[in-house]
Structure formats: structure tokens, C-alpha cells
Amino acid sequence: MSEVHQVADRADPGRPAPARIYDYLLSGTNNFQADRDAAERITALVPELRDCAWANRGFHQRAAKWIAQRGIRQFIDIGSGLPTVGNTHDVVHQVDPGCRVVYADNDPMVREHATAILDDDERVRVIQGDLRDPGSVLAHPDLRALIDFSQPTGLLMTAVVHFVADESDPWRLLARYTGALAPGSYLALSHLTDDHKPPRAVAEFLRVFDHATEQMHFRSRPDVERLLTGLDLVSPRHPDGGGQLDYAGDWGAEDLGLSDSDGSRWLYCAVARRH
Ligand SMILES: C[S@@+](CC[C@H](N)C(=O)[O-])C[C@H]1O[C@@H](n2cnc3c(N)ncnc32)[C@H](O)[C@@H]1O
């Protein structure tokens, strides 16, 4: 696999980074040896890690498409990751080419790579922003150029909130973001869990991320549910509310028998609507 040639300011090739580990698990090429080594160390104890990444990506795409099909025409994708197959704008543009998408990620390499691909597209913006700093993200001029906060928005936060420590109060942060959105907006959330997982696998997962640019914070079902306080959980089966947390593969799956997998069960997910 070739090394990445264009390195953004402050990208440290010697330290594994979540965006690049995930890119490697999704068979991308924007990753370094340190990222591949980190992924392989976890895979030694969690052989379903690649499946977990694909289950998450599948949820992200199904959720974005479903939200667009509900009539939402503007999206904010926080912790968007490196450009990959089936990016958010690709998915929602299949529903309506007029959809507007703002990507935000705190990894400088994400902005560099995404900007290189998307610079000419007026419907898409990429900002470098940290989920833990909602004031800066929500006020960013490039975000404001595309997002009209008087209209419903699709907010995507998939596989990112587990990089926020309890001390940063992710529950307050989620309330701040969803509180900024118009009624009728949607949030798509997925979050890694250590519920029912082998302790040695969990310990190795945490150890690997101790040396990464962001640390891992698994959460239990009640703690993930609490991130959705005040919102109605929805899905294709429960479009008007009354849904529940699913495993990543199950949300919006056509066949629940086929969607269940060990990898999927590392991630709780939900789509929730603001009333
Ligand atoms: C596992 S990837 C998920 C990518 C995409 N959301 C998906 O689900 O397919 C996690 C992404 O979150 C980003 N990230 C981690 N902590 C963040 C933070 N505090 N603010 C913004 N982005 C963050 C990482 O750089 C990485 O790109």
C-alpha cells in the first residue's frame, strides 16, 4: 500500500489517527503505517473490526439517504472522516442534486483531502472544526454560507462522539447542537459500545487509542440513549417516532436476519427527530 504523499499541516504520521484507521479498515489508501499497525493490533483481538467499520458506514449512508427522502435539503456532517466511497453528498444528491452538505472534522488531513476533491462544488463545504467547540463550528462562515438554521437540517454524527470524553460533557454538546436546529430536523448518531464485549478486547481497543490523536470512550446503552434526550427516535419502520436504539447494521435494514453481525453489535445507532 502506498504512503500518503500530501500531508496536511499538523498531521503526524507517527501517531495513529481515527480518520486514517477508519480509512484503512474501509480499504482506503489515505493512511500511514502507524494507522495500519493500530488497526491490526485491535483486529488481533476483535476480528470483526472491519465488519464493524462497514456496518457503521452502511448505517451512515442509509440514514443520510432516508433523511433526504424525508425532505431535508441541508446537512451538517461532523466527524465526517476522509473522503471515501459513497460520501454524504454523493448519497443525498441521489435523492436531490440540490442538497447542501457541510463537512466538519478536527483532523487537518480530512479538510485537505476533502477540499481537493470538492473545491468546485458550490453545494458542498469542508471546514476544520472540533465537535467539542460548538460555538465555532456553528458560527463558521463556510457553514453559515450553506446552512439556513430557520429550515430543518440533517445533522450526522456517526462514529465520532466516542472520541469525546465524559469530562467534555457530550450530553451537553449534543443538546447544544440539536438545540440550534429548526423543529423537524434530524440527528443520525452511531456510537461504539463495550456492552457485552470481551474485557480483553475492550482493554486492547482502549490501549491502542491511548497512543492515538484521540482517545476512545465506549458508552453503555443508557449513556448513548441519554445523548438523544428530548428527541423522537425514528426509522423506516417507525417514521413517526417510537423507535429505539439499534445496532448499526439493523437500522433501516431490509432483512434483520442478514444485517445482524458481531461487528454491527459494537455500535449503537439511532436517527432522531427534533419536534
Ligand atoms: C471513525 S471516523 C467516522 C467517519 C464518518 N462519520 C463515518 O461514520 O463514516 C471518526 C471521525 O471523527 C473525527 N473526529 C474525532 N474527534 C473529533 C472531534 N472532537 N471533532 C471533530 N471530528 C472529530 C476523526 O478525525 C474521524 O474523521
| Domains identified in the chain and CATH numbers | 18-273 (3.40.50.150)
What single-letter amino acid sits at 155?
A: L
Among the listed residues 124, 36, 18, 129, the one whose alpha carbon sits nearest the alpha carbon of residue 81: 18
Is residue 87 lining ligand 1, measured as CB closer than 6 Å?
Answer: no
pLDDT band at 1 (very low <50, low <70, confident <90, very high): very low
Best residue among 160, 168, 215 to mutate for probing ligand 1's pocket (most ligand atoms within 8 Å of CB) is: 160
In the predicted structure, residue 235 carries a pLDDT above the cut 90: yes
In the predicted structure, residue 2 carries a pLDDT above the cut 80: no
1 alpha carbon – ligand 1 mean position (Å): 23
pLDDT band at 10 (very low <50, low <70, confident <90, very high): low
Tell me the DSSP string of the chain. Answer: -PPPS---TT--TTS--HHHHHHHHTT-S---HHHHHHHHHHHHH-TTHHHHHHHHHHHHHHHHHHHHHTT--EEEEET--S--TT-HHHHHHHH-TT-EEEEEES-HHHHHHHHHHHTT-TTEEEEE--TT-HHHHHH-HHHHHH--TTS--EEEEES-GGGS-GGG-HHHHHHHHHHTSPTT-EEEEEEE--TT--HHHHHHHHHHHHTSSS------HHHHHHTTTTSEEE-SS-TTS----EETTTTT-S-HHHH--TTGGGEEEEEEE--
What's the whole-number mean pLDDT along residues 17-28? 97
Atom number in ligand 1 closest to CA 77? 6
Atom number in ligand 1 closest to CA 129? 21
User: Ligand 1 atom 10: the closest Cα is on which residue?
Assistant: 160
Residue 9: predicted pLDDT:
54
Q: How do residues 178-192 score in pLDDT, each as one tens digit? A: 999 999 999 999 999
Q: What percent of the chain has pLDDT over 90?
A: 91
Q: Taking all residues of the chain, what is their mean pLDDT, rounded to a whole number?
A: 94
pLDDT band at 5 (very low <50, low <70, confident <90, very high): very low
CA–CA separation, 114 vs 137, rounded Å? 17
In the predicted structure, residue 19 carries a pLDDT above the cut 50: yes
pTM of the model: 0.96
Q: How do residues 95-136 score in pLDDT, each as one tens digit? A: 999 999 999 999 999 999 988 888 789 999 999 999 999 999
Residue 11: predicted pLDDT:
77
Is residue 189 lining ligand 1, measured as CB closer than 6 Å?
Answer: no
In the predicted structure, residue 67 carries a pLDDT above the cut 60: yes
Count the residues in the chain.
275
CA–CA separation, 152 vs 224, rounded Å? 23
Residue 118: predicted pLDDT:
83
What single-letter amino acid sits at 244?
A: Q
User: Ligand 1 atom 4: the closest Cα is on which residue?
Assistant: 81
159 alpha carbon – ligand 1 mean position (Å): 6
Determine how β-strand 232-234 pairs with β-strand 267-273: antiparallel
In angstroms, the Cα distances linking 212 to 15, 84, 149 are 5, 21, 35
Best residue among 27, 163, 268 to mutate for probing ligand 1's pocket (most ligand atoms within 8 Å of CB) is: 163
Atom number in ligand 1 closest to CA 26? 9
Determine how β-strand 124-128 pairs with β-strand 267-273: unpaired
